[in-house]
Amino acid sequence: MKVKCINNKVASLPEVISKNYSIKYEKFPVKEGKEYIVYALWVCLDYIWYCIWDEYSRSYPNWNPCVLFEVIDQQLSRHWIFNVDTSPIDAVPFLSFPEWANNQNFHDEMVDGSKNDPNIIIFNKYKELMDLEFPDSSISDVAQIGDNEWLICPNCIDAWYSDSDRDALVKCPKCKTIFNNPRYKTSKFTIGN
């Protein structure tokens, strides 16, 4: 899932959020017009909240209310599972990768941990997978097709095995440059077909 920031002003928040959520700044740490991958999603104070890598993120993602964003890619990550978070007063839906969705303290443990914390290591693994999953309008270069099973890096000319069409982006294992995947096919799932 991918969202784009349309507003970052705290003053624009619905009253239920501003009254119940302690906000010590005038703007959320997101940039208007910037796109963000959603790493987790839950409901709080009657609104959906997205956990994204915002401008304050250093070793873990942060929660931001949906009213600051528009959804630009509604495809859910294939790494997500559904669970119910029972930590608020009411049980609420929660979507993320299994280790997070099944541990209600996962985010708090990331916040309290060091860069070597097991939860941060797990998050970084999924972050890399999810960052490649969705198209990125800031990336224009495309990896070259070598044959049915190989891609070639246009920068370092290294080749690697990759016959997948599931991810929008690919990463050269040698120079670590990210490219558009020339085999990528968007999901065309429709009900009734």
pLDDT above 80: residue 192: no
149 and 114 in a common domain: no
The answer to whether position 193 is within a domain reads no
162 and 70 in a common domain: no
154 and 111 in a common domain: no
16 and 108 in a common domain: yes
101 and 167 in a common domain: no
The answer to whether position 138 is within a domain reads no
The answer to whether position 83 is within a domain reads yes
17 and 94 in a common domain: yes
The answer to whether position 139 is within a domain reads no
Q: pTM (2 decimals)? A: 0.88
| pLDDT one-digit tens code per residue, 108-145 | 999 988 778 899 999 999 999 999 999 999 999 999 99
What is the predicted pLDDT for the residue at 89? 67
What is the predicted pLDDT for the residue at 189? 47
Which own/partner contact pairs does 144-147 have at CB distance under 8 Å and 24+ positions apart? 144/182, 145/182, 145/183
149 and 129 in a common domain: no
What is the predicted pLDDT for the residue at 187? 58
C-alpha distance from residue 61 to each of 10, 108, 166 (Å): 19, 11, 24
Number of domain units in the chain: 2
Residue among 61, 28, 65, 59 at smallest CA distance from 45:
65
Q: What is the domain extent for residue 83?
A: 2-133
115 and 36 in a common domain: yes
Residue among 41, 22, 29, 19 at smallest CA distance from 68:
29
| pLDDT one-digit tens code per residue, 156-168 | 999 999 999 999 9
| pLDDT one-digit tens code per residue, 38-50 | 999 999 888 999 9
150 and 119 in a common domain: no
160 and 121 in a common domain: no
